[in-house]
């Protein structure tokens, strides 16, 4: 090791400082706001395009009606499960509206409203939650990845797609959504670390609604905010009022533009609240008190937007009535679509599992086909009773398995 003379102590020697291999990034600009960023309720709303404000409002009204309708359809048995975004509509709508047609949205299972706001057919969006068939929509055609039920596993996919697009020279940004519970998964760490190192054009939107099913945020993270986690990866973090649709649209737009310009990823935390239970199978009263829910109702994203725009004269009662009427028409169309029984074939169960069907799947498909043919023969009376009964029972099980998926 090289030594240098210590001028402060005669005859003393000390080792030279080792070379600095660290990435020199000033942490200050990466730090998020100390309080969630807001536009509604401030003078900043006066500089926002009134056309954008009216569009955001109309989408919020439709989004709220979608949530109430989907919840009702679940109770009627038309949906197997529905994770409501009531109370989170502002973040959902903003996430969809800031993207260009060429960009990609990577939603979690709760982000059906963002998928619909992106332009995907509502029936196709809810097909997975109905239990009819695989994704329900074409990801390549819609530029929307499949709804991800496993927590955060879609985040590395978003980074991989965005990085690949950049290598190809495609002007594409990926926006990946997850909840606060998703930040506790290893996939979250891997996605953010890879994206930051390779400066992938990705925007990570964390909807912090207070609970990962029944686990409150305080038992998941001791960080000042989830947005502060961005600094450790070397990307900017933004802390936003997730119930302020205008603030969400502004911050996400800036993050998308930054990513598209080569500035790398951004982590955005939307502070919001899940007004309904985790899903229709959850009893939220077991882990939160009614007073907490009522306190958040005063900060309802639809209500605060409507009051603000009425106060500033951006909308009037006629606009409010029209938005609600169109939302009702939308809900009626959704009811009609889901009231029709889907036409399913059990053999479709083996489609889209792999690009090329494996020998095991081929064997299973052949077995199922034989059972279906045996059942058909039994119904026409050409097969013996015991064989027909066995085939019918097995085929019914296979069909049920297909519907469960």
Q: What angle do CA 57, 108, 329 make, to 5 degrees?
A: 40
Helix (H, G, I), strand (E, B) or coil at 214: coil
Please confirm, yes or no, whether 287 is among the known catalytic residues. yes
Please confirm, yes or no, whether 189 is among the known catalytic residues. no
CA pair distance 92, 283, nearest whole angstrom:
24
Tokens of 103: 């960009």
Give the CA diameter of the chain.
109
Q: Among the options 78, 118, 130, 274, which is catalytic?
A: 274
CA pair distance 206, 257, nearest whole angstrom:
18
Indicate the helix (H) or strand (E) that contains 257.
helix 245-260
Q: Among the options 102, 287, 297, 307, which is catalytic?
A: 287
Please confirm, yes or no, whether 168 is among the known catalytic residues. no
CA pair distance 70, 113, nearest whole angstrom:
10
Crossing angle of helices 89-97 and 301-311, in 10° steps, is: 70
Q: How many CB atoms lie within 10 A of CB 279?
A: 18
Q: What angle do CA 219, 225, 228 make, to 5 degrees?
A: 125
Q: Known catalytic residues? A: 274, 278, 287
């Amino acid at each position: 090791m090289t030594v240098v003379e210590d001028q402060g102590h005669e005859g003393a020697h000390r080792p030279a400082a080792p070379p600095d291999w660290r990435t020199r990034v000033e942490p200050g600009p990466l730090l998020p706001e100390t309080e969630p960023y807001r536009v509604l309720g401030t003078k900043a709303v006066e500089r926002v395009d009134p056309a954008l404000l009216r569009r955001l409002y109309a989408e919020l009204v439709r989004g709220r009606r979608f949530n109430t309708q989907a919840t009702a359809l679940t109770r009627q048995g038309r949906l197997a499960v529905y994770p409501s975004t009531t109370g989170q509509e502002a973040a959902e709508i903003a996430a969809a509206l800031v993207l260009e047609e060429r960009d990609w949205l990577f939603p979690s299972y709760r982000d059906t409203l963002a998928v619909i706001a992106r332009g995907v057919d509502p029936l196709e969006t809810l097909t997975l939650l109905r239990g009819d068939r695989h994704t329900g929509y074409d990801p390549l055609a819609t530029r929307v990845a499949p709804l991800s039920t496993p927590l955060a596993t879609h985040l590395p996919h978003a980074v991989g797609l965005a990085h690949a697009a950049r290598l190809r020279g495609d002007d594409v940004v990926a926006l990946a959504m997850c909840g606060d519970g998703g930040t506790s998964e290893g996939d979250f760490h891997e996605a953010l670390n890879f994206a930051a190192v390779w400066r992938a054009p990705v925007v990570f939107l964390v909807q912090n609604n207070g609970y990962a099913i029944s686990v409150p945020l305080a038992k998941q993270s001791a960080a000042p905010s989830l947005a502060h986690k961005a600094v450790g990866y070397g990307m900017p973090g933004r802390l936003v009022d997730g119930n302020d649709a205008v603030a969400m649209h502004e911050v996400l737009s800036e993050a998308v533009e930054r990513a598209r310009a080569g500035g790398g990823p951004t982590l955005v935390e939307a502070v919001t609240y899940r007004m309904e239970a985790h899903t229709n199978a959850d009893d939220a009263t077991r882990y939160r008190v009614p007073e907490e829910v009522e306190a958040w109702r005063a900060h309802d994203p639809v209500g605060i937007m409507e009051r603000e725009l009425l106060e500033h004269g951006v909308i009037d009662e006629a606009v409010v009535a029209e938005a609600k009427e169109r939302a009702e028409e939308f809900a009626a169309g959704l009811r009609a679509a889901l009231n029709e029984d889907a036409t399913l074939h059990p053999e479709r169960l083996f489609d889209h599992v792999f690009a090329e069907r494996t020998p095991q799947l081929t064997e299973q498909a052949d077995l199922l086909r034989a059972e279906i043919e045996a059942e058909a023969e039994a119904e026409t009376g050409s097969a013996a009773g015991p064989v027909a009964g066995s085939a019918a029972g097995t085929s019914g099980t296979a069909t049920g398995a297909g519907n469960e998926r």
